[in-house]
Structure 1
Amino acid sequence: MLASGTHTHPMGRRSRRAAARARRERKRNDADGVRAPLPVVTETLYRDSMYYVGNYERELASLIDFIDFSEEPKRSGVWEPDEVGSSASTSGPRNSLASLYRPPFHLMTHGSFEQVKITSTAEDKWLLVNLQSTTEFSSHMLNRDTWANEAVSQTIKANFIFWQAYDDTTEGRKVCTYYKLESIPVILVIDPTTGQKMRMWSGMVEPETLLESLVPFLDGGPGTHFASLSKKHPRGSFSLAPHSKPKEEELQRALAATLENNGMKESSSDDTSPITTPEEAAVEATVLPTYPPLPEEPKGGDRSVQCRVGIRLPNGQRLQRNFLKTDSIQLLWSFCYSQLEESEGEKPLKLTQAIPGESKTLEYESNLTLEQSGVANSMISATWE
C-alpha cells in the first residue's frame, strides 16, 4: 500500500513495463536504421476444395427452393444476369448460377394439368410433361443442357405443348400418383385426349437421345394418331357369316359355273402365263434408281468439312454416320439400303427430315448436298413408300 492510500493494479504495472520495452526497442531500431521484422503468421487462405464440391448441389437446391416459378416469367429476377455492375454485386455468383439452370420459361405452357391437356387437344399437339425435383441435380441438368438446346426447343415449339412442374406441388403430386411415377425427374409424352402415357424417360436425357425418341411423334398430332387407329379398327366392323355373302359374289360364282359347264372356259395347256396380282404388278412397276456407291466414312472429326446424320430405319433401328458436308443426299439412300436385309432392297424408301419443326420429305432427284439441303447434323426418318 502506498502512502497516499491508493493501490497499484498489477495490470497497470505490466502495461507500463510493455510500453517501456516498446520505447527501448524503437530507440534501438532508430539507431540501427532497421525496422523490426514482422511476426510470422500462419493462416489458411482457402478451405479444402472438397468442401465446395460437396456443397455444390446443396447450394443450388437451396437457391431453387425459394423461387416461385409461377411468378418468374412476369418479372426479371435472379434468372436474368445484371447487365450493369453485376461484378460488383455480392450476389453476382449466385445470380449467375441461377441463370445457368434457368427453367425453360420460353417453352412452358402455364396452367393446371387439366388446363394444358385442353390446350393440347385444341391445338392437336402431343403433351410433353417434365416432372422435376429440387433435390435431384439431374432436374437442373435437364434445364441447363436439354431444354436449352436449340434443336430441342424448335422441335417442342412446333410439335408439342410443354408443361413442367415439381413433384412436391399439388399438380405435381397429382401427376405422380396418376401415372405411378417412382423416380424423378421424368419426361412423359401424353395423349391429351385420352390421357394415355405414350412414352416415358427417367433421369437425365441427353438432347440427341430425346430428339431421336421424339421422331415418331413428329409425323402428326394426337388427332392423326386416333384417326389412323380408327381406320385399322373401325367401329361397328364385323365379319359376314357364311350364309350372308353378298349377292354379287354369288352371281359371279354362278356365272363361272355356267361358263365351265358350257365349255367356254379356256383350258389350253400352252397358255401357262402366271396370274399377276395387283400387289405384284405395283412392285414390278416400281423401278428403283441406281444408287451411288457408298464411300468410306470420313475420319478425323473436322467439323468444318464433316457432319453427322442420324437415321431411323423402318424397322426402328437407329444409326449415326459421318458424311462430308459436300456429299450428295443420294448417299443417304445408299447408306440406308446397305443396312437393310437383301430381301428389302427392292422396296422404295421415303426419307423425311424430322427436325427442326415440321417434317420435310427429301427428294432423291434434287441431288443437293447435305449442307445445301439442311440435313447436316440432323435426324432423318426412313419409311417404306
Structure 2
Amino acid sequence: MSSIVDTDALLQFIQVTNADPPIAHDYLEFAKGDVELAISLFLGNDGAPLNTGSTASGGHHSPPSPSLTRSIDHTAQDDIRAPLAPRREVLVDTPAPYAPFAPSSVYSPVASVAPEAPRRSIFDQLPRAPRAQEAFRDFAAESSALEGGATSEASKVNRLADLFRPPFDLIQNLPLDQARAAARSESKWVMINLQKVSEFACQVLNRDIWSNELVKPIIQQNFVFLQFANDSDEGTRYTSFYPVLRYPHVAILDPRTGERVKEWSHITNPADFVEELTEFLDLRAWKQGSAAKRPRRPEPTERTPADMTEDEQLAAAIAASMQGTSSTEEADQPPPVPSSSFSASSKPTERPDEETEMRETATPDHYSDSEDQDVSETNQRDGAYHAIPADEGTEPPADPTTTTRVQFRLPDGSRVVRRFRKDDPVRTLVSFVKARVPQAAEEAISIMYHRENLLEKLDQTVTEAGLLNASVTVGA
C-alpha cells in the first residue's frame, strides 16, 4: 500500500461510502490521501472503480475522464471539494387539505413555478377537471401518517374543515344561467350565497345556518341554491349585475325575470331565517310572481244606463229596489235612470208585473243556503277543535327515520321547536299548541302553514300534511 494512503483514511472512506477496499485505496491514492476529496470523487463518479484491471496483476490504471481531471485540478488548487453533479427535477404542488380561512395557494410553495391557473376558491362549486397533481400523491405516506397519527396542528385543521365545510348537500353545481333555467322548470326560486374567504361571518353561515335541520328542507323544496366566492368567475359575474355592499351576501332571484327580490347581509339565527323564508314564500306564491311586477287591477267605473243592455237595465232596477226596501218611498220609486237611456223596445211602464214578480222571487235564499253551509262547516271545525284536549305529551327521542322537528311561532312572538313522530296526526300538534297557548283552550285559534289552516287537516299525519321540518304560525 502506498505511503500516501493512511489506514485511518482508508477505514474512514470505507465507513462513509461502503466501498470495497481496493476501490477505496484507488480513490485515496488518486486524491493523494485527501479523504474528503476522495469521497467527493467517489460520489461524483457514481462509485465506479478507477482501476479497470486487477491490482494484483499489476494492471495499469485507466485514465480518468477529462472532466474529472479538470475537477480534481480545480479542487486541488482551491482546496475545496468538487461541486455536486447537477440534477434536474420538477417540483409538483402537493394537494392541500381543505382550509376554510385561506386559499389553496397558501399551501403551494412553488406556486410561482407553474403557470398560474384561474383563481378558484373553495366556495366556487362549478364542475372542474381533476387536478393533474393528484396522480403524484404519495398514498403510502398519507396512509402511514394516518396510521401513525397526524400532528395536533393537522388534526385541528381537519376539525375546522369539518366544522366550516360548505353545504355540498344543498349546493347545485351550476352557473347562474343554468340555475335560472333549472329553477324555472322546477317552479323554484334561485338563492345565491356570495362568500368572501377573509370574512369570518361567511364561515359562520356554513357552520350555523346552512347546516341547520330547519333550514335545509325549506331550501331543498323551494330553491335552487348556489354558493360562489366573490373572486370566482361566477361571483365576479354576479357582482357585475347586482351590486353587493356587505358580506356575507344572500339573495333570492326570480328566475323568470332575473330580478333580485330579497337580500340579506346579516343572518345569525336559523329560526328567524326560516321565518323570513316562510313569509316570503307565503307572500310571493310562484304562480302570482313578483308583487312588484303584478299588474294593477283597473278601478271599476260606473256605467250609465245608456251603456247597458235591456237585461242589465232590468237587473240594475231590481238591485236598486232591493237596496231601498227599508224606505217605503224609495222602494216605490223607480231607479234614477235618464229617459234617454231607454229604447223604444224597453219601456219600464210596460213591465210592472214582471219587475214585481222578479222582485218577489229574487230572495236571498240561495245566499242564505251557502252562508248556512259555511256556518255549519265552521261550527263543525270549532267543535272538533274544542274536542281536542290540551296536552303537551312526551317528546319522542331523536330519530331521523321516524321523527321530525316542527317550529311553532306563538302569538307572543316566542318560538318553540319540538319533535313529533312522522305518523302522528295533526291533532297531536293542535293538542300541543293548546297546552302552550293559554287562550287556545278558550277559543279556536288559527294554526297556519303556507296559508293553510291545519285545523282542516286534523286527521292527516304529519307527513301527509307536509309538516316535515316545518315552521308553523299560531295566530291569536
**Common topology (TM > 0.5):** yes
Ranked by relative contact order (alpha carbons within 8 Å, sequence separation 6 or more), the top structure is 1
Structure 1: give runs of 5+ residues left out of the alignment.
Answer: 1-58, 268-272
> For 2:193, what is the secondary structure of its paired residue?
strand
Q: Which amino acid aligns with 2:415?
A: Q
CA distance in 1, matches of 2:389, 2:275: 27
Equivalent residue number for residue 215 of structure 1:
278
Equivalent residue number for residue 13 of structure 1:
none
Q: Root-mean-square deviation (CA), in Å?
A: 5.2
Equivalent residue number for residue 186 of structure 2:
123
> For 2:101, what is the secondary structure of its paired residue?
helix
Farther-moved stretch of structure 1 (208-217 vs 277-286)? 277-286
Equivalent residue number for residue 26 of structure 2:
none
Equivalent residue number for residue 75 of structure 2:
none
CA distance in 1, matches of 2:467, 2:372: 34
CA distance in 2, matches of 1:262, 1:213: 56
CA shift, 1:226, in A, is 2.3
Tell me if 1:162 matches 2:228.
no
The alignment of Structure 1 onto Structure 2 pairs a total of residues equal to 303
Equivalent residue number for residue 41 of structure 1:
none
CA shift, 1:319, in A, is 3.9
Farther-moved stretch of structure 1 (243-252 vs 223-232)? 223-232
CA distance in 2, matches of 1:193, 1:129: 15
CA shift, 1:62, in A, is 2.5
Q: Which amino acid aligns with 1:239?
A: P
Equivalent residue number for residue 149 of structure 1:
212
CA distance in 2, matches of 1:262, 1:222: 46
CA shift, 1:204, in A, is 3.8
Equivalent residue number for residue 113 of structure 1:
176
Farther-moved stretch of structure 1 (136-145 vs 282-291)? 282-291
Tell me if 1:352 matches 2:449.
yes
Equivalent residue number for residue 79 of structure 2:
none
CA distance in 2, matches of 1:309, 1:224: 27
Choose which of 243, 267, 284 in structure 1 pairs with 2:375.
284
Equivalent residue number for residue 287 of structure 2:
224
Tell me if 1:330 matches 2:423.
no
CA shift, 1:187, in A, is 1.4
CA distance in 2, matches of 1:242, 1:155: 48
Equivalent residue number for residue 133 of structure 1:
196
Q: Which amino acid aligns with 1:328?
A: T
Equivalent residue number for residue 366 of structure 1:
459
CA 259–103 in structure 1, closer or farther in 2 if over 3 Å, else same: same
CA offsets, 1:250-300, max 9 Å, x none? 122456655489876989xxxxx99966885455233122424646x799x
Tell me if 1:310 matches 2:423.
no
Equivalent residue number for residue 88 of structure 1:
149
CA shift, 1:364, in A, is 5.0
Q: For 1:257-268, what aligned pairs fall within 5 Å after superposition?
A: 258-259=351-352
CA 173–336 in structure 1, closer or farther in 2 if over 3 Å, else same: farther
CA distance in 1, matches of 2:312, 2:257: 41
CA shift, 1:71, in A, is 6.9
Equivalent residue number for residue 19 of structure 1:
none
Q: Which amino acid aligns with 1:310?
A: Q
2:229–2:235 Cα contact (<8 Å) kept = yes
Tell me the TM-score normalized by structure 1. Answer: 0.57
> For 1:203, what is the secondary structure of its paired residue?
coil
1:329–1:367 Cα contact (<8 Å) kept = no
Equivalent residue number for residue 379 of structure 1:
471
Equivalent residue number for residue 62 of structure 1:
102
Tell me if 1:101 matches 2:173.
no
Structure 2: give runs of 5+ residues left out of the alignment.
Answer: 1-98, 107-119, 135-141, 322-333, 335-350, 399-403
CA shift, 1:240, in A, is 4.5
CA shift, 1:383, in A, is 8.3
Rg: which structure is higher? 2
Farther-moved stretch of structure 1 (202-211 vs 137-146)? 202-211
2:407–2:417 Cα contact (<8 Å) kept = no
1:139–1:204 Cα contact (<8 Å) kept = no
> For 1:127, what is the secondary structure of its paired residue?
strand
CA offsets, 1:51-71, max 9 Å, x none? xxxxxxxx8522567564347
Equivalent residue number for residue 250 of structure 2:
187
CA distance in 2, matches of 1:371, 1:253: 52
1:64–1:134 Cα contact (<8 Å) kept = no
CA distance in 1, matches of 2:267, 2:143: 31
1:165–1:171 Cα contact (<8 Å) kept = yes
CA distance in 2, matches of 1:227, 1:198: 8
> For 2:228, what is the secondary structure of its paired residue?
strand
Q: Which amino acid aligns with 1:330?
A: V
1:120–1:192 Cα contact (<8 Å) kept = yes
